[in-house]
A and B are shown apart, each in its own frame.
Chain A
Amino acid sequence: MWGYVRLELIRTMRDGGYVIFGIVMPVVMYLVFTNLGLAPGDRHDAAIYTMVSMAAYGALGGAFNNGSGIAEDRAAGWLRQLRLTPLTPAQVVAGKVVTGVAGVVPSIAAVLLTGLLVNHVTLPPQRWLAIVVLLWAGTVPFSLLGLGNGYRLSGQSAAMANIATMLTLAILGGLWVPVENFPSWLRAIAEWTPSNSYAGLSWRIAFGDVPTVRQVVILSAWLLVFAVYAVYGYRRAGRRA
């Protein structure tokens, strides 16, 4: 299985879509937002807040891109080729999940390092650690949603659906513009999104608060929904293969 993960990671790193949406854009947007004074309040606070937003945005890009890869693989007959190797189906699925989980690391690392080195963000070590862990682990629901789309839709439409979903969740979740600046009706919707809860966990930590129960519950609920969706997509894909 590790050979499979290795192969998939090689492919991911050579994927222009992943590098652009998952790494370059979040870093560029982070630098633009923080250095043009578009984020509200104190400059250091803005650097911290936007760092979390953009790391979350990049992680979303990486997680959804992994799902699009599944659809591409199916169209290329690669999933069938894998079934003809000694790898078990469980190893293949697990390998893809591990790839997705590993694939978001560069996105998160790139933005956090930019925050640390370029925007001189200073945080206590335990907060850094908590943010890294929460940003990383919190991508699982989005990976599952991306995989579900990848299994359920064909190549091109899966990629389109994943990009559209990713951008919608990023904007609506307040990753580009804080939800505090939204009209109140939109803000009410935003606070039910998985992306807002996901980034919210780390925003709270970054400013020395504890994540709210509401955020944890909402993200967990979406995790369940997307897991069911991914399993449903996988079963459907299996019947057609």
Chain B
Amino acid sequence: MIYWGLRCPPTVVPMTAKSPDAVSLTSATKHFGPVRAVDGLTLAIPRGQTVALLGPNGAGKSTTIALLLGLLPPDSGRAALFGLDPEQAVRQGLVGAMPQEGGLIPRVTVRELLAFVSGTYAAPLPLDRVLALARIGDLRDRRVDRLSGGQAQRVRFAMAVCGDPGLIVLDEPTAALDVEARREFWDGMRGLASQGKTILFSTHYLDEADEHADRVVVLGHGRVIADGTSAEIKRAVALTTVSVTADGESAWLATLPGVRHMEIRGGRVHLRSGDSDATVMALARAGAVRGLEVVPADLEDAFVALTAKENA
């Protein structure tokens, strides 16, 4: 296994009595029959971070979240929240979570539902704050079973945050939302992050991880394959794309300094380079600069490269 960790997760999670990490998974493993959904995963999230769990479908995101929330017991390894057993942390009201789907029941109003969930926590937020935070003030007396997809998602978000927990876990919170609804959702989230909450969300939208997380943890086949800020991850895979217009025989361009990968598409040569300066200089010396374009990698490129390495 190639480990692409940028910040190697500690093998022994520091458990100081003062401030244990908000989330700590230690060599957690979970099988479903022959499938290893989570494979020796170690992850520590200090308090106050906003972390994106990024990965394609089947990477183990939802299982990882189920393990750390105590919804599933790990086959081996351990999960802890604020230094406590996950179930205990949930009982103490330290956690609010929004599973990938479900959680809404028919025949109650938004207000009745949120009042109930708030009431299970010792020190919940005032209902009006919650309604404002989730932007559902106008829906308070609507029946939960008569909401649109986007409205329902905001109510589910409100259920996760209404108890004012220190850790908020959201499993693909914006899946099934349109662009506008996604934007509104993240507006609400930003307010929470600024209050020092620890937030962990999973997504397969790379732009969301890039834009909204302090730290991106990339999962593949139930393992952490990269861990760092989105800038660090882009840098680590070092994939600036240098492209020029093709002119005759171009195979030699692949041997230029820094070039790791070459592709010819529509008369253009695209070079993925680990050292774009050197590549451009070499192109110039060879007199091959025609229609030069230098584009820094986006997270998607990084992601594709990382998962490709992992599969290799």
What is the interface of chain A, defined by CB distance below 8 A to chain B? 3-4, 6-7, 10-11, 14-15, 72-73, 76-78, 80-81, 83-88, 241
Give which listed residue, B69, B92, B104, B159, contacts A76 with CB less than 8 A. Answer: B104
B108 interfacial by beta-carbon distance below 8 Å:
yes
Given the contacts A7-B112, A10-B108, A11-B108, A85 and B117 also touching, CB distance less than 8 Å:
yes
- Contacting residue for B95 out of A4, A14, A84, CB 8 A: A84
- Among A4, A15, A80, the residue within 8 A (CB) of B107 is A15
Known A-B contacts A3-B119, A84-B99, A85-B163; A241 and B71 likewise in contact (beta carbons under 8 Å) = yes
Known: A3-B116, A3-B120, A85-B120. A76 touches B102 (CB 8 A): yes
A86 to B96 alpha-carbon distance, docked (Å) = 9
CB-based contact A81/B102 at 8 Å:
yes
CB A23 to nearest CB in B, in angstroms, measures 16
16 sampled A-B residue pairs with Cβ under 8 A: A3-B120, A4-B116, A7-B108, A7-B116, A11-B107, A11-B108, A77-B99, A78-B105, A80-B99, A80-B103, A84-B71, A84-B95, A84-B99, A86-B91, A86-B92, A86-B163
Which residues of B have CB within 8 Å of A11? 105-108
Q: Which of A7, A80, A86 has the most CB of B within 10 A?
A: A86
Assess the B69–A84 pair: CB atoms within 8 A. yes
- B97 CB-CB contact with A under 8 Å: yes
A88 nearest in chain B by CB position: B91
* Interface contact B102-A84, CB-CB below 8 Å: no
* Across the A-B interface, the 3 shortest Cβ-Cβ residue pairs: A77-B102, A81-B103, A3-B119
Say which size band chain B's interface belongs to.
Answer: 20 to 34
Nearest chain A CB to B63 CB, angstrom units: 14
Check A86–B120 contact: CB distance below 8 A.
Answer: yes
User: What distance in Å separates the Cβ of B61 from its nearest Cβ neighbour in chain A?
Assistant: 16
What distance in Å separates the Cβ of A102 from its nearest Cβ neighbour in chain B? 16
**A81/B116 in contact, CB under 8 A:** no
Binary per-residue interface labels of chain B (99-126) against chain A in the complex, 1 for a CB within 8 Å, 0 otherwise: 1011111111000110111011110000
A84 touches B90 (CB 8 A): yes
Q: Which residues of A contact B97 (CB under 8 A)?
A: 84
Partner of A80, one of B102, B106, B113: B102
Q: Do A73 and B105 have beta carbons less than 8 Å apart?
A: yes
A237 to B112, CA, bound (A): 27
Q: Is the CB of B102 within 8 A of A87?
A: no
Interface pair A10/B107, CB less than 8 Å apart: yes
B116-A14 in contact (CB<8A): no
Which residues of chain B are within 8 angstroms of A6 by Cβ–Cβ distance?
Answer: 116
Does any Cβ of A come within 8 Å of B93's Cβ?
A: yes
Q: Digit string of B237-251 for contact with A (CB within 8 Å is 1, else 0)?
A: 000000000000000
Other A-B pairs, 16, CB within 8 Å; known A80-B99, A83-B71, A241-B71: A3-B119, A6-B116, A7-B112, A10-B107, A10-B112, A14-B107, A77-B99, A77-B101, A77-B102, A77-B104, A81-B99, A81-B103, A83-B90, A84-B95, A85-B117, A86-B93
A77 shortest CB reach to chain B, Å? 2
Q: List the A side residues contacting B122 at CB < 8 Å.
A: 86
Closest to A4 in B: B116
Name the B residues within 8 Å of A84 (CB-CB): 69, 71, 90, 95-97, 99
Known: A4-B116, A86-B90. A81 touches B159 (CB 8 A): yes
Residues of B within 8 A of A81 (CB): 99, 102-103, 159
Per-residue interface assignment for chain B, residues 76 to 105, with 1 indicating a CB less than 8 Å from any chain A CB and 0 otherwise: 000000000000001111011101011111
